[in-house]
Amino acid sequence: MKKKSFNSILEDKTIEQAVEISTDFFNKKVFESIKQEFDFYLNAWPLKKALYDSIEGGKRLRAFSCLLFYKMCGGKNSDEIKNIVAGMELIHCASLVLDDELDKRDIRPDRKIPTIRGKYSPEEAMLVVALNVMYSFDLIFSNIIDFEPKKRDLIKELFVRTVSEGGMGEIEKWKFMNSRKIPSKKIYWKNLVRSSGALFFQMACKIGALTATNDKKLIDKATVIGYNLGELLQAGDDLKDIKEDLRDGFYSLGVINYYESLNSKEKNKFKEKLKRKLTERDLDIIANEIVYSKSMKKTFDEIKEKGNQIIELLSVFEESEEKKFLIRIVNYLKNRMKVNS
């Protein structure tokens, strides 16, 4: 059977440019903060290699979003946010290691490289999660001491709440994966996507704005845009990973829309199919059913509408190179998925 799948569209090289800028910022400034943190606490401890492996690679789009909103709101010196971004990246990396542990994945399907649990052990992976969380708090809290009290307290509250809600969301996701139930669309957006992507992007964009300005209108808009940006990115990533997610028992927007398009008899048959022990061929057949169904247009339309909302919200910000670049990123994300014929 010919394998069919989603492909990303990279015609204007927008994401490559974003990754280049954010990686440069990360490598020159943010990584140095993380390295100092690891070296100070761990010295020659063998697990340090696993910690470095846990932060290797990735697009750094949360770091980039924080940097963009910092500059869009008048920020001039990116050194001001480098330690905050370092803390946020460690939390994100901890969540990826935890996801792989919950999914019992030894290989990352998106990058075809060993996970931390696959390269080391499940026990060491959980230690990496705990240490990355601990160091993230230290990096952020110890480096906002000189901020004005109100701003400092807002960043602390935002960070603690985001990490707490993200952790609860992971539990919610784990419950659904183990139950093999197809969530409602409301639960998908408000619980699963919220914890996986939206909250962390919201935090990145809000902290970038909050660090640069006291303008409540701009900070509030950055907060809403960040949340929507996280939803847009996560929903697209979930579509790209549809086969892997079917294997793991995580049912994302494309699966939900497909399921909701079926009649009662077809729904029961589909649910029974998902309960079976699925072979690779079974997964390919089910994924193709979903990808080539009429309901997929609805899924694409929902993702595009999310992108359009973000662009409309950006109108409050003054014209700048950063704003133009962010609009390019949003246009890429809302149009990036197509189906191979």
122-171: per-residue pLDDT in tens? 999 998 998 888 888 888 888 888 899 999 999 999 999 988 888 888 78
Phi, psi dihedral angles at 114 (to 5 degrees): -65, 145
- Quick one: pLDDT band at residue 196, thresholds 50, 70, 90? low
Q: How confident is the model at residue 7 (pLDDT cuts 50, 70, 90)?
A: very low
pLDDT at 14: 52
89 pLDDT tier (thresholds 50, 70, 90) = confident
β-pairing verdict for 113-114 and 337-339: unpaired
Q: Where are the beta strands (DSSP E) in the chain?
A: 6-8, 107-108, 113-114, 337-339
CA distances from 127 to 43, 97, 124, 181, 231 (A): 16, 10, 5, 30, 29
Question: Interior CA angle at 154 toward 150 and 158, to 5°?
Answer: 175
DSSP codes, 244-278: HHHHHT---HHHHHHHHTS-HHHHHHHHHHHHS--
Decide: 290 and 299 in contact? Cβ < 8 Å.
Answer: no
pLDDT at 212: 94
Predicted pLDDT of residue 40? 67
CA terminus-to-terminus distance, the chain:
13
Reported as a pLDDT band with limits 50, 70 and 90, residue 107 is confident
Helix (H, G, I), strand (E, B) or coil at 36: helix
Q: State yes or no: pLDDT of 3 exceeds 50.
A: no
Q: Which domains does the chain have, with CATH numbers?
A: 12-336 (1.10.600.10)
Predicted confidence (pLDDT) at residue 213 exceeds the cutoff of 50: yes
Instruction: Tell me the CA distances in angstroms from 77 to 23, 62, 80, 82, 156, one per residue in order.
Output: 17, 18, 6, 10, 21
**What's the confidence (pLDDT) of residue 72?**
95
Burial 23-37 (b: 16+ CB within 10 A, else e): bebbeebbbebbeeb
Rounded Cα gap, residues 40 and 187, in angstroms: 42
The residue that leads in pLDDT, 205 or 50, is: 205
Rounded to 10 degrees, the C-alpha dihedral 192/198/200/205 comes to -170
- Rounded to whole angstroms, the Cα distance separating 115 from 107 reads 5
How many other C-beta atoms lie within 10 A of the C-beta of residue 217?
9
Give the pLDDT band (50/70/90) at residue 341.
very low
Please check whether residue 330 is in contact with residue 310, taking contact to mean a CB–CB distance below 8 angstroms.
Answer: yes
Q: Which residue has the tokens 């059913």?
A: 289
pLDDT at 306 over 70: yes
Q: How far apart are CA 188 and CA 182, in angstroms?
A: 9
Q: Is the pLDDT of residue 76 over 80?
A: yes
- pLDDT > 90: what percent of the chain? 37
Across the range 203-217, mean pLDDT stands at: 95
Q: Which of 220-224, 246-250, 280-284 has the highest mean pLDDT?
A: 220-224
pLDDT digits (tens, 9 = 90+) for 30-74: 777 777 777 766 665 667 888 888 888 777 788 888 989 999 999
